[in-house]
Structure 1
Amino acid sequence: MSKVKDKIEIIIADDHMMIREGLKQLLELDGTMKVIAEANDGEECLNLLNKKIHPDILLLDINMPKKNGIEVLEYIKQNKIPVKVLILTVHNEVEYLLKAVDIGIDGYLLKDSSYDELKEAIDVIISGNTYIQPSLLPALNESMEDYALDKEKIEWLTKRELDVLRLISKGCSNKKISDELTISERTVKNHISHIFRKIDVEDRTQAAVFAIRNKIS
C-alpha cells in the first residue's frame, strides 16, 4: 500500500544555482511543498527521474546544457514518466510555448512572474488542469489557429504532392524532382501548381517555408 504524501514533492531543473536555491526557499516556506531533488542540466534531470524518484511536479527551465527543457519534456512524454511538468522560463516567444503545448505541457510560466502566480500554477496543475501564463494566451490562441489551418491544408495534399513539396523544401529544381520521383517535368509543374493553390502560397520560397514549419522537409 503506497504512502499518502503530505506535501507536494518537486524537482527543480535549472542550470543557475541561485535560481534553484531561491525557488527552493520560496516553495518550502509555504509549508505544503517540498523540493526533493535538483538538477543542473537536462541529462541530470532525466537521470533523477529514471532512478525512480517520483515527484509530483518538475519545474523545468528551457535553456539548459546537455539536454534542453524541450528535449527533456519530449523524453518524459514519450516514455510516459508520471510527472507533471511546469516550464519556468525567460522565453516569451510563442514558438517555444506552441512547441511545449504540442508535446503536452502541464504548465508554462515566465520567470518574471510573482510567487503568487507560481503557487497558483502549481495548484492548478496538481488539480489536473493546465496552466498557461495569461499574458501569453492571446498569441498562443492565434498561433494555434494558424497551426490548425496548416494541418487542414496538409490534409488536402496527395502523397505525391507531399513528396514534391518535400523536395521543394530541399531546394530541388523541377528537373531534379522529375528525376527523383521518376515523373515528367510537366507533371512536376502540375503538382507544384496544385500545391501552391492548396497551401495558399505564391512561390517556391513560401512553399519551402510552409514545409519546414510543418516538418514536411
Structure 2
Amino acid sequence: MSITQPLRIMVVDDEPAIVEELAEFLEQLGYGVTACHTTEDALRAFQQDEAIGIVLSDMHMPGLTGVQLMGELARLCRSGRLYETAIFTGSSDKQDVVLALRAGVSDYYQKPVNLDELQAGVKRLQERVEQQMKEQQIRQRIQDLAASLHEMHSDLVPAKPIKTDVQMTTPADVIPEPFDKLSRRQLAVAQLIAKGMTNYQISCELGITENTVKLYVSQILRLTRVHNRTQLALSYPSHA
C-alpha cells in the first residue's frame, strides 16, 4: 500500500441504500471503495485486498456486530498490516459508543451520517494510517541498518592467506596488494564483484542483506583506492 495514494475504504452495512450512498460519496472524494452488505463479505474482502486501510461499519447487523467484526479483522489480518476503523450506529444507546471505543475503534458516527463529518473523519483516519506507515518504514530501515552493522562488526579480522567460500585462483592463494587490506568478508565481496555479480546476487551468494553488501562495496572501494566497480573488477587478480 503506497502512502502517496488514497487508501481504499471498506463500507459495511446490511442496508444497501446506505452502502450505496456512502460509497458514491467517498468515490467522489477520490477514494476506492469496497462495498459489503454482510460481515462475511467484509471478512473475505479484507483478507483478499491489502489496499483496504480504512473500515467503516454499521454497529448492528445480522451475524456479527460492528465491534465483533472489528475483532475478527484484527484476528485475521497479517502481522504489521495497518488500518483504521470507525463505527456508525442508528441507536441512541451510548453503550454502543463505549463498546466501540473499548474495542479500539478510532471514531463513530450517528445515523444518518453527516457527510461533512464523515469526510473530515476519513481524512483523519487516512493521515493516521499514513503516519503509522512512515514510522513502520523508518523502524524497518533502522533494523536493517543495525543488522548490517552487526554483520560488519563481526567481520573486523583482517584477511589472511586462506581460502574463503569464493575460492581465489592466484598462485598459492597469495592475496596481492591492495586486496590484502580487506577482511575475509570484504575479500569475498570483492571476488564476486570481479565475477560481475550484482549486489543482489552477492547478497544471495553470501547470505547477507543487500544493504550490507552496499556498505562492503563502499569500504572496499575506499580501502583499495579504486574509484568504481569496473576498475575494481579490472584490477582484481585472475579469477575463475
- TM-score, structure 2 normalization: 0.48
**1:3 Cα offset (Å):** 4.6
> Residue 26 of structure 1 aligns to a residue in which SS?
helix
Do structure 1's residue 86 and structure 2's residue 121 form an aligned pair?
Answer: no
Distance (whole Å) between structure 2 residues aligned to residue 22 and residue 97 of structure 1: 23
One-letter code aligned to 2:43: L
What residue in structure 1 maps to residue 8 of structure 2? 9
Deviations 1:6-39 (A, max 9, x none): 22311111111111111111111123x121x221
Distance, in Å, in 2 between the alignment partners of 1:87 and 1:4 is 24
Q: Kindly report which structure 2 residues correspond to 1:15-164, keeping only aligned pairs within 5 A, or say none.
A: 15-31=14-30, 33-35=31-33, 37-79=34-76, 82-128=82-128
Greater mean deviation of Cα atoms: 11-20 or 60-69: 60-69
Q: Distance in 2 between matches of 1:85 and 1:10?
A: 10
Contact persistence 2:9–2:52 (CA under 8 A): yes
Q: CA deviation at 1:72?
A: 0.5
Distance 1:125 1:113 in 2: 16
Identical aligned pairs, as a percentage?
21
Quote the offset at 1:127 in angstroms: 2.1
Q: Secondary structure at the match of 1:88?
A: strand
Deviations 1:59-107 (A, max 9, x none): 1011212222121012223445632111122123211111111110111
Q: How far is the alpha carbon of 1:54 from its aligned partner?
A: 3.0
TM-score, structure 1 length as denominator? 0.52
**1:48 and 1:77 mapped to 2: Cα distance?**
14
- Matched with 2:158 is none
Question: Match for 1:23: what amino acid?
Answer: L
**C-alpha distance in 2, partners of 1:64/1:6?**
31
Distance 1:122 1:4 in 2: 15
Question: Is contact 1:77–1:104 with CA below 8 Å preserved after alignment?
Answer: no
In the alignment, residue 114 of structure 1 is paired with which amino acid?
A: N
How big is the shift at 1:116?
0.8
> For this pair of structures, how many residues does the alignment match?
126
Q: Deviations 1:42-73 (Å, cap 9, x if unpaired)?
A: 12211111224431111101121222212101
Q: Please tell me whether the aligned partners of residues 54 and 82 of structure 1 are also in contact (alpha carbons under 8 angstroms).
A: no
Deviation at 1:4, TM superposition (A): 4.9
Q: Bigger radius of gyration, 1 or 2?
A: 2
Measured at CA, do residues 28 and 92 of structure 1 come closer, stay the same or move farther in structure 2, by a change above 3 Å?
same
Distance, in Å, in 2 between the alignment partners of 1:3 and 1:99 is 32
Ranges in structure 1 where 5+ consecutive residues have no aligned partner: 130-217
Query: CA separation in 2, counterparts of 1:20 and 1:79?
Result: 23
Q: Which runs of 5 or more structure 2 residues have no equivalent in the other structure?
A: 130-240
